[in-house]
Structure 1
Amino acid sequence: MSFYYIYKKNYKIFFPIQSNATRTISYTNYYTHLDFPKTNTFPNIQTTTFKPQPSSPNYQYPFLSLWALVLCAMTVSPPMALLSIPISTTLIFFFFFTSSITHTQSASNHTCPSYPNCGDIQIHYPFWLNSSTTTTTTTTTNTSYCGYPGFGLTCNQSSNIKFPILHLPNVDYYAIAIDYNAYTVTLIDIDVYHKQCPRANHNFTFDHSLNFFQYTPNDLNLTFLFNCSNPFRDFLQPTTPLSCLQNSYVFPEDVFSKGIGWHSYCSEAVMLPALSDYVNVSDLPNNFGEVLNNGFELNWYHASDCGACEESGGSCFYDNKQGNYAGCLCGDVFQAHKCTGKGLSTAIKALIGVSSVVGVSLFALVIFLFCHYKKRKSLPTNTSNLLFSRSISSDPSSKTDPELGSALYPAHIFSYSELQEATNNFNASQELGDGGFGTVYKGKLRDGRTVAVKRLYENNYKRVEQFMNEVAILNRLRHTNLVSLYGCTSRHSRELLLVYEYVPNGTVADHLHGDHPAHKKPLTWPVRMSIAIETAEALKYLHMIEPPIIHRDVKTNNILLDSNFHVKVADFGLSRLFPMDATHVSTAPQGTPGYVDPEYYQCYQLTDKSDVYSFGVVLVELISSMPAVDITRRPREINLASMAISKIHSNSLHELVDPNLGFDSDCEVKRMVTAVGELAFRCLQAEKEMRPCMDEVLEALKGIMSFGGGEETDVVTPIDDDVRLLKNNNQPLGSPVSVADHHWESRSTTPNTSG
């Protein structure tokens, strides 16, 4: 169907034209009422043709077109309109209705086919059987019409393996189980199936072709490193190579997805998920084959463009060439959006439709005459005022009052378009940094405020959980040394965006060993002490509120500085609520290499002492101005925590201290640096029971700071008995060093921002 708009002087109307002879309407009826001369051509007429897609609402809902006609008729000059509407409009309405009924019935040949089982696996919507590769004869040629794009399965009945194959980008997987009630499918890489010593060859990552899938809580990422040289073990925690693959290793979670250059030691790294129920960390090097042969689990969710269809009992219909949503299959009837009017015969539908058209036509005529009457009574100034009022109420900026909120989100809800405008369409020049969960951009709101906008990665399967977690946590936190959340987009927004206060003076990492211009002027020791105390204040606050919160990613990249060098602790992207009735939280390891509690990697238990360990690394950075991980250092000094423990243990702290601090020339600086070094030593103990809590750490730092002012304190002394006792023990294990392609001066998820 095409829509022709006809313009002649001040007259404007449109009508449909179809090539099918049974649906053609005489042009004469139209231009007779428009007072055009009765010739074979239209004089002085401009025409424009629009070709709607099959899913256009005009096909299925004629009344949308009806109201469009009313609006167009209202623009016609009054004398002509009063003459033409009663007859011509009714004819047009009737045409639209009959066209819609005919089109609806013409799609009835598109139905969801029934598929045979593939082995023991039932195949039905939203999956479909790929007819081009199956040996069955019952599959129709249009099977890809009914189901989700990318859910096509191949079943080779002649094979000994009776599992359907799901074709994901570049890799084929056996679908060994499909739970249609739980919306889950269990997959096994074909290359590892039924092999005693499988060699993982394919990374599994999400991209746009997997936009209906996401991980389930049962999945745990495994990272395999193959053909590693012997020096590779020098800077790793004690580990065991794979039992049947020489010089190869496996680690739980994406421990080695980022970090230092593993390619210098290993030929290949492969990351893929596995079912956590089958993962025994201590025995993983021996039973990894069994783990891989149990596969992993994906959850699929409703396609956003066909949710209404499925909720009404229909099945989504996709174009098999482009994969675009085309409509809703309701039994043997094709409808545009959702199933309506089930069980009604064509005759009843026609009767209802005709009655509706007549009734709506009369109603439209009354509305038109009323509007025409009001228009004649209105003065031009009134019309101007009306338009002005409407423009104000529809201005998006009227919704950006930062003090506004909602019952669902205490923070202000920003529109996506406003944040897109604030960041200049997320221009790369506005980028402040990126990390594991998203990229942060500098932006300027319409009210003039400069903000930091975190844009969560589109294909990160944890993005919604991460988004809601940050909002829930940050909205209930109020502390001068924590960043402030201004607001966010709705969870149903086009993208998930968080808006924070903008902290202009960079991160502590920038000032200590980064590219920030201020790095040319080193931070003085009093400023560093202030940074340590204010950071400890923020962490103590997190640990002391009810329920407690563990940051999980304490590092100098997440400690921001304002223009007066006051601390703003940022990036709660890895934060988790800490249950009041638990002493630890068992969870997959996350964080930044060089800062992560080594005990956390061994037993996968999280406590507030994990933050204490990370803070100990921060203290060493403040003393030394060195990054937490640096592969340019000697092998045993790559990890700063390990190097600090070794230096302090051998009474060689002076070798670690930044020479710009005046350690050798200022006795007071030497006293405080030594005391902070001893405190860092306590924080970096491998066993969490040996570490102080954050409250003790804060009091110790305050004691160190005030000691020189004449106040008596027994909180800490430069060398106390506890530290001597610790020094007599074996050297504690440092935080494991991760492996990746680039040097470890990585940017935070939230540099120069609050999150």
Structure 2
Amino acid sequence: MEDENMGEGEEKFEYEEVVKATENFNPKRMIGKGSHGIVYKGLLPRTVAVKKASSLDSLHHDDNSNKLQNEIRVLSILRQSPHVLNLLGTSHDSFGNKLMVMELLPNGSLHDWLHGSRKPPPSWTKRVEIAMQIARAVEFLHEGKPMVIHRDIKSTNILFDSHMNAKLADFGLAVMVGSVVESPPSQPAGTIGYIDPSYTSSAKLSPKNDIFSLGVVLLEIISGRKAIDVSKTPASIVEWAVPLIEREVVEEICDGRVAVPAYMAGGVGEIVRLGGRCVSEKEEDRPCAREVVMRITDVAERVRYPLWRSVVMRSIAGMVGFTRNKRSKLFLNTSSHNTSSVITVKQVLSLWD
């Protein structure tokens, strides 16, 4: 029997089944610990992740249980997205304490990859892809009905599936806007280094709060620097990066562990400046999620089809019967000195008629 608040694709799992799948929540099965819950690996019969509320003491357990209930409610309402953690179903013990059964994202977090011992750090092509996937996750939340404001976007809440695709997770603090069952939170919430200062000062909830956090993540992806690093001055990535962006020395922000290919330099710079806009002190100066997606997608397209591949595209154009004039038009604005120029398949097709 399915929970009345859950979507059609989600199941109600027997508690005994979940206990068996996790070997009675064996610590050896623990694969993660979030802001309000502990995650275990289980077999039901597919491999899944099972999340239960943390219970250090009764006060924290009640608070964490409420966050877990909220996470279940939000994910149950969301339709499936390739960029958001997928809820498979729920279970509950004899006391009514709920558990989440989720898809397993086995390849760790973005925080682990950027700042942990994992080698090597992500390539620049992969960084652009991750940025695009997370921006699409935020767009999906902000343009849904009801709108969802995540309130805790950060690199530890960005996890990778078996194909190394990034997904946004941990919806314990999320708020549904425009839902009759949702009441505005009385207090701001989030993580230091990622939380929007204008949210903490005014307690006014806005999708632009998420955009600020997304901007921090974009700067983190490009720089390889933590959102808050007390070993550096300034400790805040925002306070460090914004002056560099204003001085137009964005190359100093790029992660020095991996050389930026010449053909990607322009696109990486665009993402840095986009991150700077996202963390603007003025909410009205921040882009919406859709614009962030559009601009990163444009960069990603240029990464796929840099100028040095134009010879291949020229050959394709010739093989499919382009006239000389159309080929001239296609390459008219392409200069050997402009390493960020691109030719996309869409452009080739647009010249066909």
Classify the TM-score, shorter chain.
0.7 to 0.9
Equivalent residue, structure 1, for 2:346: none
Equivalent residue, structure 2, for 1:420: 19
Q: Which runs of 5+ in 2 are unaligned?
A: 308-329, 334-339, 341-353
Q: What is the distance in 1 between the residues matched to 2:284 and 2:6?
A: 39
Counterpart of 1:548 (choices 117, 141, 147) is 147
Q: Which amino acid aligns with 1:638?
A: A
Counterpart of 1:561 (choices 160, 163, 167) is 160
Pairwise CA RMSD? 2.4
Matching of residue 503 in structure 1 with residue 105 in structure 2:
yes
Q: What is the distance in 1 between the residues matched to 2:26 and 2:185?
A: 39
What's the offset of the Cα at 1:493?
4.2
Matching of residue 697 in structure 1 with residue 286 in structure 2:
no
Normalised TM-score (structure 2) = 0.78
Encode CA deviations 1:432-468: one digit per residue, 9 max, x unaligned. Answer: 22233111112222x2x11111111243223443233
Q: What is the distance in 1 between the residues matched to 2:66 and 2:72?
A: 10
Matching of residue 528 in structure 1 with residue 130 in structure 2:
no
Equivalent residue, structure 2, for 1:613: 212
Equivalent residue, structure 2, for 1:654: 251
Q: Which amino acid aligns with 1:693?
A: C
Q: Which runs of 5+ in 1 are unaligned?
A: 1-403, 713-717, 719-755
Q: What is the distance in 1 between the residues matched to 2:163 and 2:123?
A: 13
Matching of residue 452 in structure 1 with residue 42 in structure 2:
no
Matching of residue 686 in structure 1 with residue 284 in structure 2:
no
Q: What is the distance in 1 between the residues matched to 2:230 and 2:253?
A: 17
**Secondary structure at 1:660's aligned position in 2?**
coil
**1:587·1:606 contact (CA, 8 Å) conserved in 2?**
no
**Secondary structure at 2:173's aligned position in 1?**
coil
Q: What is the distance in 2 between the residues matched to 1:653 and 1:434?
A: 35
What is the total number of aligned residue pairs between the two structures?
A: 299
Q: What is the distance in 1 between the residues matched to 2:73 and 2:292?
A: 28
Equivalent residue, structure 1, for 2:69: 468
Equivalent residue, structure 2, for 1:480: 82
**1:456·1:497 contact (CA, 8 Å) conserved in 2?**
yes
Counterpart of 1:441 (choices 15, 40, 47) is 40
Higher relative CO (Cα under 8 Å, sequence separation at least 6) belongs to: 2
Identity of aligned residues (%): 33
Q: What is the distance in 1 between the residues matched to 2:16 and 2:237?
A: 44
**2:6·2:77 contact (CA, 8 Å) conserved in 1?**
no
What's the offset of the Cα at 1:694?
0.5
Change (3 A) 1:593 1:406: closer
Q: What is the distance in 1 between the residues matched to 2:195 and 2:264?
A: 29
**2:12·2:91 contact (CA, 8 Å) conserved in 1?**
yes
**1:556·1:618 contact (CA, 8 Å) conserved in 2?**
yes
What's the offset of the Cα at 1:678?
0.6
Q: What is the distance in 1 between the residues matched to 2:125 and 2:185?
A: 38
**2:54·2:64 contact (CA, 8 Å) conserved in 1?**
yes
Judging by fraction of residues, say which structure has more helix. 2
What's the offset of the Cα at 1:588?
0.8
**Secondary structure at 1:451's aligned position in 2?**
strand
Greater Rg over alpha carbons, structure:
1
**1:587·1:605 contact (CA, 8 Å) conserved in 2?**
no
**Secondary structure at 1:455's aligned position in 2?**
strand
Q: What is the distance in 2 between the residues matched to 1:647 and 1:426?
A: 48
Q: What is the distance in 2 between the residues matched to 1:580 and 1:498?
A: 22
Counterpart of 1:588 (choices 187, 203, 206) is 187
Matches within 5 A, 1:188-203: none
Q: What is the distance in 1 between the residues matched to 2:185 and 2:24?
A: 40
Normalised TM-score (structure 1) = 0.38
Encode CA deviations 1:107-136: one digit per residue, 9 max, x unaligned. Answer: xxxxxxxxxxxxxxxxxxxxxxxxxxxxxx
Change (3 A) 1:491 1:443: closer
Q: Which amino acid aligns with 2:48?
A: V
**1:547·1:580 contact (CA, 8 Å) conserved in 2?**
yes
Change (3 A) 1:492 1:600: farther
Equivalent residue, structure 2, for 1:273: none
